[in-house]
Structure 1
Amino acid sequence: MSRAQFLKLLAATAGGAALASCSTGPKNEATNQTTPAPAQDSFPLTIDTAFGPTTIDKAPTRVVCLGWINGDVCASLGVIPVLQAAITWGNNENNSNDWFDAAVTKLGAEQPQRYDETDGPDFTAIAAANPDVIINVIGAMDQQQFDKLSKIAPVVTYASDSGDWMTPWDRATTIIGSALGLDAKAKEVVDRVSGKMKQVGKNNPAIQGATFIPSALDPKDENPISLYAPDDVRSVFFEGIGMKRAPILKEADFSGGFYGSWSPERADELQSQFLYTWSTLENAHEVIKNDPLLGKIPAVAKDAFVADNNQRQALALGTSPLGIEWLIDETDFIDQVNAAAEKGTR
């Protein structure tokens, strides 16, 4: 698989067309509902989206989410889906992820049913779920899809100043919390996770203030250097733990979306104290370090980089509150970042 194919796959896997019929409110046997109960006095409310305003007349009790990240955010707010797309990249044995499953267990809820999202949104299944609201804050959408879905239920997407895959986890949590009548809960979640991320920087001096470059490097690809945009989940994560985007990234062209290419002839200009790269290669660290072109990247030359080929970690990296907490608490990813940053800040 080329890096270009991977980037498309990661985007699709990260939110794509996954739909999940969710329930809110106190748990009962009929609907797999979970706490907390929404604030009834918040409704009706109107949310401005990139495709037009959406009015929600009453607190939703059945919610459909396009994209599993939106379902993850719902779970962080105490809302567990009853129907969700199967995760087929970076998935666990439940075709889910570990942090979502942990939330299901903690809430005493049932696992959602899962379906194959390969062919995109299943409008028939969405309609059959009888939703009160449809959520696609993190993901991709066009006007035609928005209009078609709006005939089923109000649709909440990213805002007009955002775009496909470009809504940070904290802003998405706030928007989704508002749509569900769970504003207070959303603020609690954002404050908790943001605080945990800031503490990472405080606990690791090499991380705090270090400049970083988020990338996807592959010496075998026709475009061996790709860089992630400022609003991409990876950038948001590293900034959240106290790092700063390297100034050279201002010269990159991200007009095409969440990533852009960089000329390999300019590899030595990519100055930073730390570099993150996703890679599908075996022994990626050594392959990249020993490559005659990629080895000219300053952070690579100083061994101040993390080459990650762990799919589950890639899915958790900056995507949702639950994923971020899992990455920090349950893996050694931060230790890897800190060790690399120590080399880059010497």
Structure 2
Amino acid sequence: MLHAPARRPLRRVTALAALMTTTALLLTGCGASTEAKPAAEEPTTGVVIEHAHGSTNIVEKPKRIVALGWMSPDVVAALGENPVGIEEVWGAGESGYQPWFEEFVTEEYGETPEVIPYADEGPNYEAIKELKPDLILSLYSGITDVEYERLSEIAPTVPYIEGPWNPGTWQDMTRTIGKAMWQDEKAEELIGETEELIETLADEHPEFDDKTFVWGVALNEGATDLGVYLDYDPRVRITEELGFKSTPAMKSFFETAEGDNWYTGVSLENLDEVEADLFAAWAGSKDEGEYTVNNKIVARWQPIAAKSYVIYGDEAEASALSAPTVLSLQAMLPKYVDDLADALEGKPTISGK
């Protein structure tokens, strides 16, 4: 589903399609802390970020930042620095940039960062080194101990905090990167502004209150399961913050989920047992969305029969909600809310080419 490794093109994983990916256990804490690091003679005040591979000391406010994977580039730009380099990720257009990021950095800084070419395996160390970074951020990634060590030889590196593909909530990531950039206060301002937007949009739509929903994945041709997300997934959390309630079937979703997955599958034969007023999903294309709602079994399911569904076959729209940031939410939430409101009135959305 959307939480696939960001350095490679998205690909479906079995019947569920692991899109973008974060395990998005987006309820975990960021694990960042600040402390003084004594030097032999002259004490140097630094920021220390504790993470899954150890700890990283950032002794000076960074200016040349390489932001790898999803989410990090948005936060760096919003906090006042245009990254010197980013990786191309799923959901980026032909330019290599996600649209809200490209618009922001163009307006704010007058130029876009260099797009780091793909390497055969792991990070493109040579391309990163040529950018002369003083900080490398890779919070939404699956970098190994060896990769972390090699990146750290180039510049102080902050990888994932808790585990692979788990950046924490968008608030946590903003705070961690704010700490690393010596911009704690600005990070809190950005979080506050975005949370205020969510609250305002929710207040404008009291009809969302207590309506039940399922967030999932459009069907592949021949699929016998419908992919659905668990309640700690970012898409689900954002929708709940707007006033909706997760389906009462969420408990059964957890019972069938494997390991630390943030998604599971529901057999189409049992879909009628899943209570929901609305269905939201991403699709690989508009045709895939149409195929899903026209499936004979899915078409009889409550939210589909009522035409109460929103399916994003547009990569950028799906990406904005799947790996949310202070930039992507500001760009996408108003449209998402309008689409949800229309769906509750029986006016569905299926986007994409």
Q: Do structure 1's residue 320 and structure 2's residue 325 form an aligned pair? A: yes
Of the three residues 159, 162, 181, the one matched with 2:161 is 159
Q: Give the CA deviation at 1:299.
A: 1.9
- Per the alignment, residue 106 of structure 2 pairs with 105
Task: Report 1:1-346 matches (<5 A).
Answer: 3-4=12-13, 10-11=19-20, 43-87=45-89, 89-117=90-118, 119=120, 120-160=122-162, 163-218=164-219, 220-252=221-253, 253=257, 255-284=259-288, 286-318=290-322, 319-329=324-334, 332-342=335-345
Gaps in structure 2 of 5+ consecutive residues: 1-9, 25-42, 348-353
- CA change 1:115–1:136 in 2 (3 A) is closer
Given that residues 247 and 275 in structure 2 are in contact (C-alpha distance below 8 angstroms), is that contact kept between their aligned partners in structure 1?
yes
2:38 is aligned to none
Cα deviation digits, residues 84-133 of structure 1 (max 9, x gap)? 2235x533353212211221133233211223326341012223333222
Q: Is the 8 A contact 2:15 2:227 kept in 1?
A: no
**Counterparts in 2 of 1:65 and 1:314: CA distance versus 1, 3 Å:** same
SS in 2 for 1:306: strand
TM-score for the superposition, normalised by structure 2:
0.79
Q: TM-score, normalised by structure 1?
A: 0.80
Please tell me the root mean square deviation across aligned C-alpha atoms, in Å.
3.1
Secondary structure of the 2:158 match is: strand
C-alpha separation between the residues in 1 aligned to 2:86 and 2:285?
30
Deviations 1:286-345 (A, max 9, x none): 53333122234332232221122111211211521111111134xx3321111223559x
State the distance in 1 between where 2:17 and 2:45 align: 38
Contact preservation (8 Å) 1:302, 1:343: yes
Aligned partner letter, 2:339: Q
Give the secondary structure class of the aligned counterpart of 2:50: strand
**Counterpart Cα distance in 1 of 2:244 and 2:144:** 34
Q: Contact 1:206/1:342 (CA < 8 Å) preserved in 2?
A: no
Letter in 2 for 1:11: M
Q: Greater relative contact order (Cα 8 A, min sep 6): structure 1 or 2?
A: 2
CA distance in 2, matches of 1:274, 1:199: 21
Q: 1:144 to 1:333 in 2, by over 3 A?
A: same
Post-superposition offset of 1:188? 0.5
Identity %: 26
